[in-house]
Structure 1
Amino acid sequence: MRFIEEIVVEEFLPTFRSMLAADLRDRGFTQSEVAEALGISQSAVSKYAHGDVGQREEFLEDERVQELVERVGEGLADGTMTPVQGLVETEVLIRKLERGDLLATIHQREMPELAEYGSEFDIHDSDSEFRTAERVLSSLRRGLRVLENASGFAGLIPNVGSNLVACTPDATSIDDVAGVPGRIVDIKGRATVPSEPEFGVSEYVASVLLAAREAGAEVNAAANIRYDAELLARLEELGHETAEFESEDGVDASVAAALADDPTATVLYQTGSYGIEPIIYILGDDAVAVAETVRELV
């Protein structure tokens, strides 16, 4: 794991400072004057002068970096720019290069996992697709830990397996819903999560969640467990509104019809039919809340 700030500190700044030190020396600055202007030691300036500091080619060749070096160097030399102003100008360029630009590209190369979010994302943007997705996955992982540690949860897993899913705030498709690949299964009486959660791997549970949201339910997560009349009664005791839906007409239409009858329902269920296993679906604000509801049933 490498932070974009590490690239800035370890590669951009040494390259930029060495370029600026060379520019100032060309303008007649002494080694001590360069050190004072850049706020570094004379020994550091000496290392820059002798090529003892590594430079990254992408920064050396970038016209914007070259232009900034020339502009700051000229400003420091003729007194029209203070070191603080030079610092601010440099910070502005760094922030620009971090937002879907050169620094972001280098970061993605060194952290390939970031590539799926495209080259335009800003890792510092709290509302970016990247951070939104990571928050969903983080909540889902916490919810899965709740289920794994819930003694007796394996007994609630239906034959088709269980899944815990969560979606992004503006989810419109299965690709916006994260879940467990292969579902959660009962192996010798123990609930087993086969792999890390991912987006786009759940079909039916994700479809129920999306259908509920489309019908107006303010929910962001869902889980499925086996159907049992006693479990349904227990959920009602816990304060959940329940609604039955038939899947023969399609998930979207069936869930919409069920929620039309009871818009406040947070538990949807189907009693099954030929080739369809009876299932209970628990909906909630997030994956942890749904998992905690399931835990109360065991």
Structure 2
Amino acid sequence: MSLVLPDELVVDRFLPTVRAMLAERLAECGLTQQEIADHLGVTQAAVSAYVGGDGGGDDRFRDDPETVASVDRIADGLASGEMDGYDALAELVSLVHSLEDRGPICELHEEAMPALRGLGCDLCVRGLDADVRAERDVLSAVRVAARTLATLPGMAAIVPNVGTNVGMALPGADNVTDVAAIPGRIYTMGGRIEIPANPEFGASKHVATAVLAASGVDPAIRGAINVATDDAVLEAARERGFDVLEFNADYEDRGAHLRRRFDEHGTVPPVAYHRGAFGIEPTTYVFGETAVDASTRVGELLETAAGLD
């Protein structure tokens, strides 16, 4: 991973654009090029280029409503004398912080460092605290698990009609928004596994319900994958010595029913399944301590099932 600091993008992309925008607005306010140069801390020649349209810049900032509004406030304040250099600096610093919070600067940073995509990077806003690291680790695990599923021989055959998903909960999760999954679910197209997007928290109520039920009984179990119920896979689970639990699909509160069944069973099994009900497709959940563990377990089941044919 190449290291690019957000500050580099502020200096190289944001600052030149905002200086050009300010020069243009201050010229519209009637200031001379030298007066503009004094305000911006640049040469008169640079202001001439800005005003003449040769200053360039990044259209993401030029088109950003918050940036435009800030430039207008600063230009009006400097032109009227109601704002001095310190006030203008404070306004720009506040703008930079805002644009780093999922704004254009954050977008540019992900382009410069593609490995940040899908990790929920929040470094500029919150710093690297324990919560951020936990979120990043969960998102990363779900990404790895999804990619693992996409490479498994036989996986396409057990993707339900509604799609499959892989989810993982944060430690101590108690809400769907604490579980990361793939938005839009994982589906098949032409016999290939398609992953439509990077994982997000709160992206799947379906798999999150199973994850929360499992982690509520055993906090160590935080990963789950849903697949179509398949007798060969269930036989493979028993062949490998996995504990297999059947539950009833026809419950309005699936999470409460699952948790009750786990409590009655005395543990969270590696595999839990139902045979479907009216309007409900037969589904099997494969659990693991992490999303990666669950995907590895699915791979083991498919490998064993293929050997039983």
> Normalised by the shorter chain, which TM-score bucket?
0.5 to 0.7
Q: What is the CA–CA distance in structure 2 between the aligned matches of 1:181 and 1:7, rounded to whole Å?
A: 30
The DSSP-based 3-state class of the residue aligned with 2:126 is: coil
Label 1:10 to 1:275 Cα distance change in 2 as closer, same or farther (>3 A): closer
Residue 240 of structure 1: how far off its partner (Å): 2.5
Written as runs of structure 1 = structure 2, the 5 A alignment for 1:122-201 is: 122-123=126-127, 125-129=128-132, 131-201=133-203
Kept in 1, the 8 Å contact 2:156–2:193? The answer is yes
Q: Identify the residue that residue 46 of structure 1 maps to in structure 2.
A: none
What is the aligned counterpart of 1:242 among 241, 244, 252? 244
The DSSP-based 3-state class of the residue aligned with 1:296 is: helix
Q: What is the CA–CA distance in structure 2 between the aligned matches of 1:143 and 1:137, rounded to whole Å?
A: 10
Provide, for residues 14-35 of structure 1, a one-character-per-residue CA deviation record: whole Å limited to 9, x for no partner. Answer: xxxxxxxxxxxxxxxxxxxxxx
Q: What is the CA–CA distance in structure 1 between the aligned matches of 2:218 and 2:292, rounded to whole Å?
A: 21
Q: Identify the residue that residue 272 of structure 1 maps to in structure 2.
A: 276
Kept in 1, the 8 Å contact 2:171–2:219? The answer is no
The RMSD of aligned alpha carbons is 4.2
- What is the aligned-residue identity percentage? 30
**Residue 262 of structure 2 corresponds to residue 259 of structure 1:** yes
Provide, for residues 139-190 of structure 1, a one-character-per-residue CA deviation record: whole Å limited to 9, x for no partner. Answer: 1111111111112210111222111112222322111212122211122211
Q: Where does structure 1 lack aligned partners over 5 or more consecutive residues?
A: 12-49, 66-96
Q: What is the CA–CA distance in structure 1 between the aligned matches of 2:42 and 2:189, rounded to whole Å?
A: 61
Flag the structure with larger Rg. 1
Q: What is the CA–CA distance in structure 2 between the aligned matches of 1:215 and 1:160, rounded to whole Å?
A: 27
Provide, for residues 242-282 of structure 1, a one-character-per-residue CA deviation record: whole Å limited to 9, x for no partner. Answer: 22221333212211222112314122111222222211101
Residue 236 of structure 1: how far off its partner (Å): 2.9
The DSSP-based 3-state class of the residue aligned with 2:267 is: coil
Q: What is the CA–CA distance in structure 2 between the aligned matches of 1:220 and 1:119, rounded to whole Å?
A: 25
Q: Where does structure 2 lack aligned partners over 5 or more consecutive residues?
A: 14-40, 44-73, 75-84, 110-119, 303-309
Q: What is the CA–CA distance in structure 2 between the aligned matches of 1:5 and 1:126, rounded to whole Å?
A: 20
TM-score (normalizing by structure 2): 0.60
Runs of 4+ in 1 over 6 A off after TM superposition: 7-11, 116-120
Q: What is the CA–CA distance in structure 2 between the aligned matches of 1:296 and 1:127, rounded to whole Å?
A: 33
TM-score (normalizing by structure 1): 0.62
The DSSP-based 3-state class of the residue aligned with 1:256 is: helix
Kept in 1, the 8 Å contact 2:172–2:219? The answer is no
* Number of residue equivalences: 229
Label 1:217 to 1:126 Cα distance change in 2 as closer, same or farther (>3 A): closer
Residue 239 of structure 1: how far off its partner (Å): 3.8
Residue 133 of structure 1: how far off its partner (Å): 2.1
Residue 194 of structure 1: how far off its partner (Å): 2.0
Residue 284 of structure 1: how far off its partner (Å): 0.8
